[in-house]
Amino acid sequence: MSERELNQALAMIDAGRLDEARPILQALLKKHPGNGAISNTMGIWHAQKGEFEQAIFFARRAVEAFPGVADPRLNLAQMLSYHAKHAEAAAEFEAALAMDPNNPSAWHRYAAALARAYRYADADKACARGLALAPADHNLLVEQGHIRVMRGRADKAIESLLACLRHHPRSHQAARLLAFAGTYDARTTPEQAFHAVRLTGELLTAEILRAGQTLPPHAPPSNPDRRLRVGFVSPDFREHAVARFLVGLFTHTDPTRIEWCAYANSLHDDAMTAFFRARCAVFRKITGQGALQIARVIRADSVDVLIDLAGHTAHSAIGLFAHRPAPVQATYLGYPLSVGMPSITHRLVDSTTDPAGDPYDAQTLATERLVRMDPCFLCYTPDAAAPEVVPGPRGRNEPLTFGSFNGYQKIGDEWLAVWARVLNAVPGSRLLIKNYGLNQPEARADLALRLERVGIGANRVTLSGPLADQRSHLAAYGDVDIALDTFPYHGTTTTCEALFMGVPVLTLAGRGHASRVGLSLLSAVGLPDLCASNIDGYVTTVAALAQDADRLNHLRATLRTQMQGSVLMDAPGFAARFERAIRGLWREACGVASPVFTPGDGPVAN
């Protein structure tokens, strides 16, 4: 076997040059079909492509070739984890760790796999085991920060990530998670979160461009009124919350004026993927490819406006924007902060989520120029499987029930104390909390203890994990009278789902996009009075609605129809606003004044 060729293929995989590595590996495999090292590398190649059945096949062959070696077993375990075979993955990780218990990298990979299985308490313990061996290990500190965010411990996550940055000041991964943690931490100011995300963008850009290779500059854009080619980069062209807010846009845009391109950094396809593929002039899978390689493809596709839909979230491909593959680059929808990337020059929001001066100037919290698509920057398309609205608990002569289906990580201790005040203000009421994180017994026990500490006894609360399917999930809103939004990171999809199921949502507006989305959504459906401006007002507003049986009954009966007639579900109107905004950006790039822009801190699409 040629070790040089195998190392060459591995280097290509590391660089995201998967298509170049494939023929080398195939030739090696043909010559040496039983070689464990080649099988191991072939498994890594398939995993990078998101082809996990094939990856697991080759990884098992590598384990058979090296039964007493930990590394091939670790690779197999990781591939099983990515393929959601969590029990098998855990068994393989434990076997590998038994062989090599003093390997910090193995503990990191095990912790990440446990987190993917929502076993956050066990994942935190695995990180601690690894950090006991290597206290300054970069990957372990970053993973620990991520896990603690997902456990609802944003304050502890921030401690881990600041420690990581002290040891590794150029870590864009730690800076990214620091900004992420700040959106969940009530004590972190918007200015602090913005500082972290700006640092993230600067560090990521520097790392992407450090190799010295990038694309040549664009020719100056021209022809301001021609048909535009608009590209989106996202891991979420599948059944995902982000996709729900794109369906109306893709359905109602005039293809004679705008054609769509999609660059999908996702591992799985489904019916929603097929929906987007059918409506795109170009639909490309970019999983496992390097940033420069993808940027070259996008440049070759002649994309005029390129839009990031994921920010600095998991599986984002935002780094490719550093190469400036399109003349105009923007960010939208999937991330609640500025992205801090010098190459991304615009961000699509509205005047409620990102005000222009009252109560604060959101432009000071963004590296991009803000494009405000008023009255609302979102357009919701409900699931076709949504059941009919049914009476809530109070309508069935049961105790009034508050509910939150928001992510576990959004429920901090400070906000639990506010919910305790709400329950005290409404005697006899109950609280239902349902989310993916509560699938694990450890998480349910931990949240029950946190609730007890703020005075919410087990007799007043129900904790529920995920249900079997989306229809069952939506039907569970039938067990809620009033939905309680989270703070400082509001719900988006959960708010829309609750409203569509006839459940009013109460929220608290803050400073920063993440804590103002609820106000934008409620204003869009004509219910801005359900948003408070301070905690006392929030408790008072919730209690008043809980005691107003006539209004609750009316909302239950009419809220779906009201929502369907609102700007939040006006897909043709939203598509027209979006198109005007994109056309304005393009005309500006062409040096032509656009009537959709208002002078001031940033462009405003009216």
pLDDT in tens, 475-485: 999 999 999 99
Instruction: Using alpha carbons only, give the angle 307, 309, 310 rounded to the nearest 5 degrees.
Output: 135
**Residue 348, strand partner residues:** 332, 371
**342 cis-preceded (ω within 30 degrees of 0):** no
Predicted pLDDT of residue 601? 39
Structural domains of the chain, with CATH: 1-101 (1.25.40.10), 228-379+574-589 (3.40.50.11380), 394-566 (3.40.50.2000)
Q: Give the global pTM.
A: 0.91
Q: Is the pLDDT of residue 597 over 80?
A: no
Predicted pLDDT of residue 288? 85
Predicted pLDDT of residue 366? 98
**375 cis-preceded (ω within 30 degrees of 0):** yes
Q: What is the mean pLDDT of residues 260-274?
A: 93
What stretch of H or E contains 505? strand 505-508
Predicted pLDDT of residue 582? 97
Torsion angle of C-alpha atoms 519, 486, 249, 558, degrees rounded to 10: -70
Question: In this structure, are strands 258-264 and 328-332 parallel, antiparallel, or unpaired?
Answer: unpaired
Note whether 89 and 114 are within 8 A (CB). Answer: no
Predicted pLDDT of residue 48? 86
Ranges 49-58, 158-167, 565-574: which has the least confidence = 49-58
In sequence order, what are the residues at sequence separation of 6 or more whose Cβ sits closer than 8 angstroms to the Cβ of residue 407?
A: 435, 436, 437, 486
Sign of the Cα torsion 315, 319, 325, 327 reads positive
Predicted pLDDT of residue 1? 52
264 band by pLDDT with thresholds 50, 70 and 90: very high
Note whether 122 and 142 are within 8 A (CB). Answer: no
Q: What is the pLDDT of residues 542-584, one digit of tens each?
A: 999 999 999 999 999 999 999 999 999 999 999 999 999 999 9
Helices (H), 86-244: 86-99, 104-116, 120-133, 138-150, 154-167, 172-184, 190-209, 241-244
594 band by pLDDT with thresholds 50, 70 and 90: low
Q: Is the pLDDT of residue 450 over 80?
A: yes
Helices and strands in the chain, H and E counts: 24, 13
What stretch of H or E contains 580? helix 571-589
Total residues belonging to the chain: 606
Q: What are phi and psi of 300, to 5 degrees?
A: -65, -30
Note whether 374 and 351 are within 8 A (CB). Answer: yes
Predicted pLDDT of residue 406? 97
